[in-house]
Amino acid sequence: MDSQVARSITIVGGGTAGWMCAAALGHFLGENTRITLVESDAIGTIGVGEATIPQIRMFNQALGIDETDFIRATGATFKLGIEFAGWLRPGHSYLHAFGDVGRDIGLGAFRHFWSRAHRLGLARPLGDYSVNDLAARAGKMHDGAPLTNRNVPQMPHAFHFDAGLYAAYLRRYAQAKGVIREEGLIVAVDRDGASGDVTAVRLADGRMIAGDLFIDCSGLRALLIGDTLGVGFDDWSHLLPANRAVAVPCASAAPLTPYTRSTAHGVGWQWRIPLQHRTGNGRVYCDAFLSDDEATAGLLANLDGAPLAEPRVIRFTTGCRQQAWSHNVIAMGLASGFLEPLESTSIHLIQSMIARIMTFGPTCRPAAAVRDTFNRQFADEMARIRDFIVLHYWANQREEPFWQACRNLPLPASLAEKIALFQSAGHLFRDQSDLFSEVGWLQVLVGQGIIPATSHALAEAVSEADLAGWLDTLHALFSREVAAYPTHADYIARHCAAPSPKGLVA
């Protein structure tokens, strides 16, 4: 037997991270590995984290999860992108929609042609050339081959789901795969005197749960990676100053929108996540500019329907662990770090960490090069997402002191270079570690008011008349397609409505 292979894995924490990890390990490692998850009912979970990005579908597919079943069980709705309302200035709005925008011509990226047309006054807003954007704004949903013309791209989608129901769904799945659940409060952690590795966690009632490898999914507490091993935390508050959120669910209101809405306010922003049975809402802010009471009052004044629970304040620090893997502990989810929820990246980061564990193989005594590479990949991924989120805050034209302060934030060199490249003839290049594609960056750069100063040579080669005619044709093609789609509510009613949405309780 290979002594490095972990035969016994203990997952500490049963939130979204813990149960996603348990489900995946249970599925892929099966009977040869003993997998135990410890969670505390007394502590509970963070209870937010309900918007995803399209990669979640790969997770479901890899685990053989039936999507219709998953949607019904979690009260999920479809998400075609995120609307950013008021982020550039009050009254302005754009979408970071999933999927492609426009169409490239040969080696010429669509953005080059659009930028030139925009400067000439010939272009519609960028989103008018995205099927996802058009469908989101029209409240439509469709999955599969185009209905009107095979040249129309398919719409990628993600989901909004109930976090509590999702954890419960994955728990049933994981336990069916043999994962053992232990409920109890961890009060102590045992370590090997020589290696410093974690050997067991001890519960308040005296139970001891051992393991070869420990996955720290204990949330913001970071019980193993932080408290026990003392791995440092890179604090990114100087780049992303929001450090509080207040969250509250409310009654749903029609129409059922197929996108997450992020609305900028005088300080921070508010999320709106529509589910089948309720709407999730929250205000993200910085306590140096807004008190908890003010944020709560602002949130309650901007709901679609009656609040369904008491508002709950969550404190956080943006940043990440200096190592996600230390000794025989791998941190995942909030224990590994947190970038605020603006682009719904945290659940994806859990998925990405699970994929990384599978790629490297769950070992308890890795070679230094293996652990270093693992940690570098994690750090690079976090830094690229951080840059993307900073861009939304930094490139604003709002007048309030909070937003003026955001304009004066120091830009990471990697982001400053990205912006400078784009400003010069629309250059965009995707690093291997970048979660977001050129098209994602394009939508946010343009949405936040950054337009290339000069045209790309390939776009200059097209006549103005041809450019205008081609853009009109694309828009007409995509609009006709979207007009053929059912509404989001009708689509859900037809394909995947929860049997009793009002009865969905986490």
> Which residues participate in catalysis according to the annotation?
79
Confirm or reject binding of residue 281 to ligand FAD (CB under 6 A). no
Report yes or no: 472 and 134 within 8 Å, Cβ to Cβ. Answer: no
179 part of the interface to ligand FAD, by CB under 6 A? no
Residue that the structure tokens 């994981």 belong to: 174
Shortest Cβ distance from residue 274 to ligand FAD (Å)?
A: 12
φ, ψ for residue 137, nearest 5 deg: -65, -30
Using CB under 6 A as the binding rule, whether residue 209 contacts ligand FAD is answered as: no
Q: How far apart are CA 498 and CA 255, in angstroms?
A: 17
468 exposure class (CB count in 10 Å sphere: 0-12, 13-18, 19+)? middle
Please choose, out of 44-52, 59-67, 106-114, 171-179, the segment that lies near ligand FAD by the rule CB under 6 A: 44-52
CB of 272 to ligand FAD, least distance (A): 11
Q: Which helix (H) or strand (E) holds 330?
A: strand 329-331
**How does strand 213-216 pair with strand 329-331?**
parallel
| DSSP characters over 214-245 | EEE--GGG-IIIIIIT---EEE-TTT----EE
Tell which one of 341, 362, 426, 440 touches ligand FAD (CB under 6 A).
341
- Rank residues 112 and 261 by Cβ distance to ligand FAD and give the closer one: 261
118 vs 348, beta carbon nearer ligand FAD? 348
Of the pair 15, 319, the CB lying nearest ligand FAD is at: 15
Stretch that binds ligand FAD, among 14-22, 87-95, 291-299, 437-445 (CB under 6 A): 14-22
Residue 311 token pair: 């508002």
Question: Among 132, 344, 377, 448, which residue interacts with ligand FAD (rule: CB under 6 A)?
Answer: 344
CB 491 within 8 A of CB 266: no
**Nearest alpha-carbon partner for 228 in 12, 9, 8, 3:** 12
Least Å distance between CB 342 and ligand FAD?
Answer: 9
* Binding status of residue 38 toward ligand FAD by CB under 6 A: yes
**Cα distance between residue 77 and residue 492, in whole Å:** 7
Name the DSSP letter for residue 366: -
Q: Does 389 bind ligand FAD (CB under 6 A)?
A: no
217 binds ligand FAD (CB under 6 A): yes
Min dist CB 17 to ligand FAD, Å, is 3
CB atoms within 10 A of CB 404: 11
Among 33, 74, 218, 363, binds ligand FAD (CB under 6 A): 218
Minimum gap (Å) between residue 340 Cβ and ligand FAD: 7
Helix (H, G, I), strand (E, B) or coil at 213: strand
Nearer to ligand FAD by Cβ, of 49 and 99: the residue is 49
Out of 10, 33, 36, 40, name the contact with ligand FAD by CB under 6 A: 40
DSSP letter at 105 equals B
Distance CA 361, CA 364 (A): 9
| 223 is an interface residue for ligand FAD by CB under 6 A | yes
Three-class SS state of 319: strand
Quote the least distance from Cβ 246 to ligand FAD, whole Å: 8
- Does 164 bind ligand FAD (CB under 6 A)? Our answer is no
Contact call for residues 65 and 173 (beta carbons, < 8 A): yes
Question: What's the CA gap between 206 and 363, in Å, rounded?
Answer: 28
Which of these ranges, 85-93, 301-309, 341-349, 355-363, lies near ligand FAD under the rule CB under 6 A? Answer: 341-349
Shortest distance (Å) from residue 321 CB to ligand FAD? 12
Report the DSSP pairing between strands 319-321 and 186-191: unpaired
**101 interacts with ligand FAD by CB under 6 A:** no
Residue 334 found at the interface with ligand FAD (CB under 6 A): yes
Q: Is 17 in the site for ligand FAD (CB under 6 A)?
A: yes
Residues that bind ligand FAD (CB under 6 A): 13-18, 38-40, 43-46, 48-52, 163, 185-186, 217-219, 221, 223, 245, 247, 282, 314, 316, 333-335, 341, 344, 346-347
